[in-house]
Structure formats: C-alpha cells, structure tokens
C-alpha cells in the first residue's frame, strides 16, 4: 500500500537493527542485560558507587564499534531519507554510531552516543573515541577525571523529547524497527501519533498479545527494512 501524498515519517530503531552488524541486543538470549546487571552499569547511582566498572562497560562497547559496520537496514533508511520528499525523523535508542556512519542526517540518538563524553564539571559534550580513564581531561575546561559517557541512564531523561513528540504528533507514518518496546518513553511513541497515522513494526518476533501497531512485519531487519523502503519509494 503506497501513499497519495508524502506524509511525515518518524522511525524509531532499537538494538535489533544493529544485531546483524554484530552488536548484541539487550534482552535477547546472550544479550547485554544477561551478562551485566543493568543496576550495576546503567544508572547514575551505579556510576557514583563504582565509576570504574561503569566506565569499563562503556569503554568496551566503544572499542567494539571499530569492528562493526552499518548493515543493509541502516543503508536502506538512508536511501529512504534521500528520496522521500516529505519530512523524516530517525529517532534511535541505540548508542552505536551505525546510523550516522551509514549516512543518516535527520538522526536523533535519544539515549546518547558512545562516541561522546560529557564533563561533570562544565557540562560540555565532546566527541570521544578512546577509553574514558581517570586521567582523561575535558577538552573544553581541562578538568581531570570528570568525564562520563554521554549516555542516558535509567532514571535520566532521554534527549530532545520535545522535538520527538512534535514530530510524532504531526506524522502520517510511524515505523518501529528492532525494539522490544519495553523501555519508556520510546515504548509509548506509537500511542502519540495521530489517530489516522499508519503504524508499522518490524521485528524478528512478536508477542502473541495484541499489538498497538496496524502492521507487524516479522523477519530480520536486513530483509524487512530494505523491502519496506522499496515499497514506500515505489
């Protein structure tokens, strides 16, 4: 089914879109939250209690980015952005840089970015590709040992929520890809779109219980996303 005119699109992606690039998801078998307790590595309290452990968790994930590349799903979303004549916003819960590396420009990483560090002293957010270590200095103010990963932890407010909700409230098509829909506010985005908007979900598997989406497309992101993009651009 195509569109007569070009509606505004909001796309939400989760860890499942990067799974086939070789990055583990959080909640699948062998996922990150099976190997680490979320309370130990992804909360402000964990960082206060044991900053070295939290830094190590994110340092390891930051290093891993060097070994992976964007996949066909990331690339297909760039193609959609480049050829869709209506507005498009790509909101990602992922902190990897695979959407950006593929070439997405209208991109909003709502849970922060592994390749940035934030200074607890001056608040500056800086590009950061190496490990964050006790001897690391803020590139802006020069303070020692005050950098934290620029990641939204549990209990913190995701980034740019006003911009996201404005886009959702004006969209005609909402697409969620590779997210378990368990973490709010992202899990509630589908409820914020106008009554007439079309909603599509792509995931490897779906819960049996009723869906809040009009359409569910089961399969891998690298198959289903290029397929959907081709359909939309037809």
Residue with token string 């209208």: 106
115 vs 138, beta carbon nearer ligand OAD: 115
Q: What SS3 class is residue 225? A: helix
83 is annotated as an active-site residue? no
User: Which residue from 9, 10, 15, 117 is in contact with ligand OAD, where contact means CB under 6 A?
Assistant: 15
Determine the interface stretch with ligand OAD among 16-24, 48-56, 57-65, 134-142 (rule: CB under 6 A).
Answer: 16-24
Give the CA distances from residue 14 to residues 23, 115, 154, 173, 203, in Å, rounded to whole numbers and listed in that order. Answer: 11, 17, 16, 17, 10
The sign of the dihedral angle between the CA atoms of 135, 137, 143, 145 is: negative
User: Could you say whether residue 180 binds ligand OAD (CB under 6 A)?
Assistant: yes
Cβ-in-10-Å burial (0-12, 13-18, 19+) of 135 comes to exposed
For ligand OAD, the binding residues in 143-172 under the rule CB under 6 A are 152, 154
Choose the catalytic residue: 74, 75, 99, 111.
111
125 vs 141, beta carbon nearer ligand OAD: 125
d(CA 120, CA 117): 10
d(CA 169, CA 165): 6
User: Could you say whether residue 215 binds ligand OAD (CB under 6 A)?
Assistant: no
User: Could you say whether residue 31 binds ligand OAD (CB under 6 A)?
Assistant: yes
Residue window 99-128: x/- pattern of binding to ligand OAD, with contact defined by CB under 6 A: ------------x-----------------
User: Could you say whether residue 25 binds ligand OAD (CB under 6 A)?
Assistant: yes
């Amino acid at each position: 089914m195509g569109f007569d005119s070009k509606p505004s699109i909001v796309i939400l992606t989760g860890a499942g879109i990067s799974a086939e690039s070789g990055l583990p998801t959080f909640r699948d078998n062998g996922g990150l939250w099976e190997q680490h307790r979320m309370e130990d590595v992804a909360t402000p309290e964990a960082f206060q209690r044991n900053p070295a452990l939290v830094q190590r968790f994110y340092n390891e994930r930051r290093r891993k980015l060097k070994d992976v590349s964007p996949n066909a799903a990331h690339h297909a979303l760039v193609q959609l952005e480049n050829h869709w004549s209506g507005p498009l916003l790509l909101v990602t819960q992922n902190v990897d840089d695979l959407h950006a590396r593929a070439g997405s420009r209208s991109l909003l990483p709502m849970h922060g970015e592994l390749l940035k560090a934030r200074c607890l002293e001056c608040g500056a957010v800086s590009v950061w590709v190496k490990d964050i270590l006790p001897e690391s200095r803020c590139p802006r103010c020069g303070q020692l040992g005050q950098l934290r990963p620029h990641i939204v932890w549990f209990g913190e407010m995701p980034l740019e929520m006003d911009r996201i909700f404005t886009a959702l409230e004006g969209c005609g098509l909402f697409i969620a890809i590779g997210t378990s829909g368990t973490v709010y506010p992202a899990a509630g985005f589908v409820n914020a779109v106008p009554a007439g908007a079309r909603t599509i979900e792509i995931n490897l598997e779906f819960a049996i219980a009723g869906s809040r989406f009009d359409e569910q497309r089961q399969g891998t992101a690298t198959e289903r996303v290029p397929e959907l993009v081709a359909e939309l651009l037809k």
